[in-house]
Amino acid sequence: MRLLTVELTRLRLRRAVLVLLGLAAVIAILMFAGTAWDSRPVSDEELAQAERQAAADANQPWVEESLRDCIENPSNWGLPGTASEADCEEAVVPRAEFYVSRQPLDIGEARTGIGVGLAGVVAALLMIASVTYAGHDWATGSMGNQLLFEPRRVRVWLAKAAAVALVAALASAAILAAFWLGIWALTESRDIAVSGDQWRKILALNGRGVLVGAGAALAGYALTMLFRSTVATISLMFGIAVAGNILIGLLPLDDSERWLTPTNIYAVLAGRYEYTFFPPCSGMDDSCDGIEKVITLTQGMLYFGVPLAIVAVLSLWLFHRRDVP
């Protein structure tokens, strides 16, 4: 506990860590502001302008032509063959809402879109923060000095890991909670009804976001303790992010999407990832049809959890065994 307190203080004193935590908070604020702005209600002035525009366009000759085409070939307009003239009028004749592209805030879309995105960005920043925290000890040589005071290396490794995971969990919890509190305030102010089930799903997303944040920070820390270098770890992470997916694409895997990092991150954060898999086919039968597939939460957790466990054990073992400069 004493060592954990020391490591928490060391983390708090690291300016780079504070900057990265601040950056995560700023990104959350910007994402919230963007969501609020993009879904703001249509003003009376905007509506009047749209109505004027619709009325003007309704008298254009192309409207009449389009209406005739729709009645003759409803399928060209995405309508069933039994579509009536009224159906076509609704689809073709300009209305005010055609000129107001903004959609009101959809909490379900926000959860699976920007909510997942924010949790991913926060986790990435926490990972970098943990890398710089651990890398600093090696870059300055102060690790050796610390071991002169506490030579039990396993305890030192664990205390630092616990500090990193704890701070990452608390930081991501605070940032995600603040973001969704803001969204809740937005729905209240705009009289948008949100079901209790939706909020439960958001709570689950944030719980998984906290877990991913802590896991990412732990992975960054374990890798840095393994490589003893911030640059080496960041390079590896960058390499995995860029070249990893290309490599998986080049591997002779039928279903490469199942093994991509972004799809698995999404599966963990959103709870599942659905995609359409197109198997190799001859074009002579039904085998060319896509198959709906899912990466489940468990599969996503295993995708990241197994390598994390291996890296953590290896990092701890090598820290225990190797000479310290």
Q: How far apart are CA 157 and CA 168, in angstroms?
A: 16
Among 43, 75, 145, 298, binds other proteins (CB under 8 A): 145
Output the smallest distance, CB 311 to other proteins, in A.
23
Whether residue 212 contacts residue 303, with contact meaning beta carbons closer than 8 Å, is answered with no
List Cβ neighbours of 42 (8 Å cut-off, separation of 6 or more).
Answer: 50, 100, 102
Q: How far apart are CA 209 and CA 59, in angstroms?
A: 52
Beta bridge mates, 277: 291
Among 147, 192, 248, 297, binds other proteins (CB under 8 A): 147
Binding to other proteins by residue 144, rule CB under 8 A?
yes
Q: How far apart are CA 15 and CA 198, in angstroms?
A: 38
Q: How far apart are CA 196 and CA 139, in angstroms?
A: 50
Binding to other proteins by residue 14, rule CB under 8 A?
yes
Binding to other proteins by residue 149, rule CB under 8 A?
yes
Whether residue 195 contacts residue 285, with contact meaning beta carbons closer than 8 Å, is answered with no
Output the smallest distance, CB 151 to other proteins, in A.
5
Phi, psi of 106 (to 5 degrees): -110, 110
Whether residue 83 contacts residue 8, with contact meaning beta carbons closer than 8 Å, is answered with no
Among 9, 189, 195, 298, binds other proteins (CB under 8 A): 9
The count of residues in the chain is 325
- Which residue, 136 or 272, is less far from other proteins as judged by CB? 136
Output the smallest distance, CB 312 to other proteins, in A.
22
Binding to other proteins by residue 132, rule CB under 8 A?
no
Stretch that binds other proteins, among 92-100, 122-130, 141-149, 260-268 (CB under 8 A): 141-149
- Which residue, 7 or 303, is less far from other proteins as judged by CB? 7
Binding to other proteins by residue 324, rule CB under 8 A?
yes
Residues that bind other proteins (CB under 8 A): 2-3, 5-6, 9-10, 13-15, 136-137, 140-142, 144-152, 321, 323-324
